[in-house]
Amino acid sequence: MHALARILIAGVALAVLPAVAQVKTDPAPDRFDAADANHDGKVDRAEYDGFVDEMVLLRDTNRDGRLDRDEVGSHAAARFDKIDANHDGSLSFEEIDAFSGPDFAAMDANGDGGIDRNEAASAAKADKASK
């Protein structure tokens, strides 16, 4: 998969998952399970990138390889603006790439190279609080 995926970063990725994953009252664990491909209780960078790739593919409804505001959804507007470095109203692979590394690092609070359930929960909480 390509770089486009790399962006929407964890925060977005974990916070903006598809409606499919939101059946239960607390959607965080479902998202986490979806991202933790090998079910070792941690989302490492490769899993994260793969997850972001999927998110992007799912959300890129017009298949132009970029995510525009409608595709991302209004609930991620603040993050969208941060990622959209050139402010052209769409997120390119490059923009997503530039954002995903730092985002992953921010979520990996203990710096062990993987996001565990607690770290994901903290990030989701922080994301909610910033709205």
Pairing relation of β-strands 67-68 and 42-44?
unpaired
Q: Does 81 bind Ca ion (CB under 5 A)?
A: no
Which DSSP letter does residue 115 get?
Answer: E
The correct pick among 49, 60, 103, 108 for binding Ca ion (CB under 5 A) is: 108
The correct pick among 49, 53, 60, 84 for binding Ca ion (CB under 5 A) is: 84
Q: Does 26 bind Ca ion (CB under 5 A)?
A: no
Which DSSP letter does residue 123 get?
Answer: H
Question: Considering the complex, what minimum distance in angstroms separates the CB of residue 95 from Ca ion?
Answer: 5
How far apart are alpha carbons 39 and 103 in whole angstroms? 21
Q: What pairs with residue 38 in β-bridges?
A: none
Q: In terms of Cα–Cα distance, which of 98, 116, 7 is closest to 52?
A: 7
- Segment lying near Ca ion (by CB under 5 A), choices 4-12, 23-31, 50-58, 116-124: 116-124
Q: Does 49 bind Ca ion (CB under 5 A)?
A: no
Q: Does 88 bind Ca ion (CB under 5 A)?
A: yes
Measured torsion, CA atoms of residues 7, 52, 81, 86, in degrees rounded to the nearest 10: 40
Write out the residues near Ca ion by the rule CB under 5 A.
Answer: 36, 38, 40, 42, 47, 84, 86, 88, 108, 110, 112, 114, 119
